[in-house]
Amino acid sequence: MEIVTESAPLAPPAGGSAVTIGAYDGVHLGHRALLAELRARADADGLATVVVTFDRHPASVVRPESAPLLLCDLDQKLELLASAGVDRTVVVHFDEERANESAGEFVVRDLVGGLDARLVVVGEDFHFGHGRKGNVALLAEMGAVHGFDVDGVTLASADDVAGELAPPVSSTRVRSLVSAGDVEGAAGLLGRPHQVRGPVVTGDRRGGAELGFPTANVSVPTEICVPAPGIYAGWYERPDGVTHKTAVSVGRRPTFYGQDGHLLVEAHLLDFSGDLYGETARLSFVHRLRDEVAFDSVDALVAQMGRDVDRARSLLDGP
């Protein structure tokens, strides 16, 4: 997949492009269904597929006080788009100037002049441009003038295959599930386990020395959505691609700090001994084991941690 930033002028793909536009946070199953439709129609007409997305969520600029937490960072989003078979991704730097740009300016400069769009496929509730005045109807009106077709589609439901009625898959639904700790439900909409990334940093060094369960303290960026406090089973992926079964704690360590502790994401890699400090971890959440609770004693906590590790191993080993 070709990645294009705005540091250089856009160059239209030879033969024109089929374009979709959006934040594409999480690149969930609804997004993937739309991208598959874009790919099919592009192939039929000999067009390149292009995703126009943003280097940050537009809400972080337009309404920062209520901007959503993200399901993935930019690097992961680009990886996911590439895995979906997109030919080119254009990453728009979204700032105040871009937020104040009219919908018409964006269409003329970027879609028509920069990408030679022949087809634009977006969600039926898509809005863009200053004041969110751009929508599917405006795209269709401008497409009639500038020579591109427009398709506003309903994002697919995860239950469509079964023929059941369910709300469309959306990043908002996924965030709600992750925030509630329902990582299994989130995975059903993402098509994969929810993953967070970050460097392994020094914690309070209690896990190995005092408790007998050494942990990697993964420093997740504050703008990323992490699961609700609790204990989880998942996978830790190292920079070389090697994965390890993992028991994960998301929480404030109430046995030691009550509710005054900093929220930490700590991973205990099963059957592993080694130095992880400084490396960037990819931590995937597969099963929720239990809520985070305060124990009456360190011995009681250690005993429960042993049971958590055994259960994580059993679940990750599978049937």
pLDDT tens-digit map of 188-243: 999 999 999 999 998 766 555 567 889 999 999 999 999 999 999 999 999 999 99
Do 104 and 49 have their domain in common?
yes
Do 36 and 151 have their domain in common?
yes
At 295, which CATH number? Answer: 2.40.30.30
Q: What is the mean pLDDT of residues 268-297?
A: 94
Do 99 and 247 have their domain in common?
no
State the DSSP string of 223-287: TB--PPSEEEEEEEE-TTS-EEEEEEEEE--HHHHTT-SPPEEEEEETT--S--TTSEEEEEEEE
Kindly report, residue by residue over 35-59, the tens digit of the pLDDT.
999 999 999 999 999 999 999 999 9
DSSP state of 128: B
Do 10 and 136 have their domain in common?
yes
Q: How many CA atoms lie within 13 A of 178 on its CB side?
A: 26
Structural domain harbouring 220: 193-317
- Please indicate, yes or no, if residue 121 is contained in any of the structural domains: yes
- Please indicate, yes or no, if residue 172 is contained in any of the structural domains: no
- Please indicate, yes or no, if residue 181 is contained in any of the structural domains: no
User: What does the pLDDT read at residue 162?
Assistant: 45
Q: What is the mean pLDDT of residues 302-314?
A: 95
- Please indicate, yes or no, if residue 170 is contained in any of the structural domains: no
Domain count, the chain: 2
Has this prediction a pTM greater than 0.85? yes
Do 156 and 198 have their domain in common?
no
Do 73 and 215 have their domain in common?
no
Do 213 and 130 have their domain in common?
no
Do 224 and 298 have their domain in common?
yes
Last residue of one domain, picked from the residues 160, 178, 201: 160
Last residue of one domain, picked from the residues 104, 139, 160: 160
